[in-house]
Chains A and B, each alone.
Chain A
Amino acid sequence: EAQVTQNPRYLITVTGKKLTVTCSQNMNHEYMSWYRQDPGLGLRQIYYSMNVEVTDKGDVPEGYKVSRKEKRNFPLILESPSPNQTSLYFCASSLMGNQPQHFGDGTRLSIL
């Protein structure tokens, strides 16, 4: 089944403790992207990747890192999480840019 898989689905952690949210797709998609969703602010793009080893900033990249070492995986790294990064995160992929995106089920992060 074609899918975008995010892990973990839920995480409660503390300020400053590094964490990684994994994202994996099995559709051989070139384009991948991370979003955060907060009440009243809609979906905001954090980082995106047009292909392997090619990443760039979205609208809200501060406090996040990403890597794209292989086509299927696009992890989101929070080196020193802070409470303002408490949010619902979505990973998405598409065959290439300007194609329908497939979204994961989301990861709910709570930073205390």
Chain B
Amino acid sequence: DAKTTQPNSMESNEEEPVHLPCNHSTISGTDYIHWYRQLPSQGPEYVIHGLTSNVNNRMASLAIAEDRKSSTLILHRATLRDAAVYYCILWEVNAGGTSYGKLTFGQGTILTVHP
């Protein structure tokens, strides 16, 4: 199974951008990079995912390195509500486009946002 490595914790100030890194050196060419976050006392929620190109949505941006061995989740202006555990996972897809179902979440990065 392809694995990811994230820092245990990061801190940010409110209204500032946050860059959350993820290393996935064993990623294969067809694996997708997914990000989830888990707010305190809640279930995880989907944030963003991508394959090669950088991706943007209303929640965040995903920057993927050219060699795809790392990626960065960017929160453009952190708010107190963004304090959560952020998980980077790989969703394995075979060359024919069929996705596998086994997922490994890891421990994620605890993001603390200071007022």
Residues of A within 8 A of B (CB): 31, 33, 35, 40-45, 48-50, 56-59, 90, 92, 96-98, 100-106
A97-B91, A97-B99 known; A44 and B105 CB under 8 Å? Answer: yes
From A45, A49, A92, A105, B104 is in contact (CB under 8 Å) with A45
Minimum-distance CB pairs A-B, first 7: A97-B99, A103-B43, A100-B46, A43-B105, A98-B99, A42-B107, A48-B101
Chain B residues within an 8 Å CB radius of A56: 101-102
A98-B93, A101-B36 known; A45 and B46 CB under 8 Å? Answer: no
Does residue B68 face the partner (Cβ distance < 8 Å to A)? no
How many residues does chain B have at the interface if contact means C-beta atoms less than 8 Å apart? 23
A-B contact count (CB 8 A): 62
Are A33 and B101 in contact, with the CB atoms below 8 A?
A: yes
Q: Whole-angstrom distance from the CB of B35 to the nearest CB of chain A?
A: 10
Q: Whole-angstrom distance from the CB of A49 to the nearest CB of chain B?
A: 7
Q: Whole-angstrom distance from the CB of B50 to the nearest CB of chain A?
A: 11
Chain B residues within an 8 Å CB radius of A35: 105
Are B104 and A96 in contact, with the CB atoms below 8 A?
A: no
Chain A residues within an 8 Å CB radius of B108: 42
Are B91 and A98 in contact, with the CB atoms below 8 A?
A: yes
From A41, A45, A102, B107 is in contact (CB under 8 Å) with A41
Are A103 and B44 in contact, with the CB atoms below 8 A?
A: yes
Are A58 and B99 in contact, with the CB atoms below 8 A?
A: no
Alpha-carbon distance A98/B100, docked complex (angstroms): 8
